Amino acid sequence: MNKNLTRWILPIFVLASASMAQAAEGWLTSWDEAAKQSKKTGRPILADFTGSDWCSWCIKLKKEVFNTKEFKAWAKTNVILLELDFPNSKPQPAAIKKQNEALARKYKIEGYPTILFLKADGTKIGQSGYEPGGPNAWIASAKKILKK
């Protein structure tokens, strides 16, 4: 293989692999990695079961809450973010799809968005979804769930 071509392919492959491990800034897509970070930090996992490219309430929640600076600042010190996506047309690695389907069965997810707060061992702490009022209202509700 051409050495110049090899110099370009390896960095692209590395970047593509890294992007599969994280859905968006701060969001993991691997349960194993989220559980590992949860154990290490003592913070619970915020698992977002979403249909990112078709679910209107999921898109609304992401826009009004998850993409805000208030939520990002709160999440950084309070939870481990895990996106469990069920897209219609967005490509997804087979291993992630299999993992997400298994977790949806385990937790009996019936609709989207469903937000679960979980311990590192998978024990459910509480559940949420879309709530009107923007990031501050959503964060206040999440704090109540986490205090239980």
21-71 pLDDT, tens digit each: 446 789 999 999 999 999 999 999 999 999 999 999 999 999 999 999 999
Domains: count for the chain: 1
**pLDDT tens profile 87-97:** 999 999 999 99
Task: Tell me the CB-side half-sphere exposure of residue 130, using CA atoms within 13 A.
Answer: 16
State the average pLDDT for the chain.
89
Domain of residue 77 covers 23-147
> Quick check: is 104 in a domain?
yes
pLDDT of residue 25: 82
148 pLDDT band, cuts 50/70/90, is confident
Percent of the chain whose pLDDT exceeds 90:
82
88-105 CB burial, b ≥16 within 10 A, e <16: eeeeeeeebeebbeebbe
> Quick check: is 119 in a domain?
yes
> Quick check: is 17 in a domain?
no
> Quick check: is 12 in a domain?
no
> Quick check: is 102 in a domain?
yes
Kindly report the pTM of this predicted structure.
0.84
> Quick check: is 4 in a domain?
no
CATH number at residue 91: 3.40.30.10
> Quick check: is 5 in a domain?
no
